[in-house]
Amino acid sequence: MPRWLFWIAIALLAVPLYGCETKRVWVELPSFGDGTIDGVWLWRRAATGEYERQCRIPFGPVEIVQNAEAVPYGQECGEETFDWDLHATLERSPSNPTAVKVGLWYMRWEDPGTYKISAYGPDGESALSDTTLEL
């Protein structure tokens, strides 16, 4: 294959990722093991200072991946649904096995901003996190 054709192919593969920045978001979920959390919402601070829903990250059932507990997840932002094969390893708290910490990859297409998180499940939705994230 000519060298120029190789570089054109590489450029075409990179085009879908142009403008996307990937960040890892660490989330602590105190009641995950109770089955009361189906996923999380990322909320972005608007120009008004209020937080608006940005992306929903639904969780699948807990699985064993490479000998560790993991949860599959997706990312739904507005009309966009990203169905990548993503899994987050669960880190259970030694003192409270229902509490977990997960590292979720977030693909941000818009300008950087300030975010908060809420969890949702069959019992409703939590309040926004006290902690903010710069993504």
Give the tens place of pLDDT for each residue, 6-23: 334 333 333 344 457 888
In a domain, residue 10? The reply is no
Closest by CA position to 61, among listed 93, 41, 37, 92: 37
Assess whether pLDDT exceeds 70 at residue 114.
yes
Q: What residue type is assigned to position 71 of the chain?
A: V
SS3 content of the chain, % helix, strand, coil (to 5): 15, 55, 35
Assess whether pLDDT exceeds 50 at residue 134.
yes
Distance CA 9, CA 42 (A): 34
Which pLDDT value is given to residue 88?
94
Boundaries of domain holding 39: 20-134
The rounded mean pLDDT for the chain is 84
Contact status, residue 119 vs residue 100, Cβ threshold 8 Å: no
Q: In this structure, what token pair is assigned to residue 37?
A: 């959390």
Q: Where are the alpha helices (DSSP H) in 37-130?
A: none
Q: Token match 């390893």: residue?
A: 89
Task: Report the domain count for the chain.
Answer: 1
In a domain, residue 43? The reply is yes
In a domain, residue 33? The reply is yes
The neighbour count for residue 27, using CB atoms within 10 Å, is 20
In a domain, residue 111? The reply is yes
Which pLDDT value is given to residue 19?
58
**Stretch 27-51: mean pLDDT:** 93
56-93 per-position pLDDT tens digit:
999 999 999 999 999 999 999 888 777 678 999 999 99
In a domain, residue 3? The reply is no
Pick from 20-24, 37-41, 42-46, 124-128: least confident: 20-24
Assess whether pLDDT exceeds 80 at residue 99.
yes
Residue 8 host element (H or E): helix 3-14
Which pLDDT value is given to residue 37?
94
What's the distance, Cα to Cα, between the start and end of the chain in Å? 40
What CATH number has the domain bearing residue 43?
Answer: 2.60.40
Which pLDDT value is given to residue 118?
96
Q: In this structure, what token pair is assigned to residue 85?
A: 């094969």
In a domain, residue 26? The reply is yes
In a domain, residue 72? The reply is yes
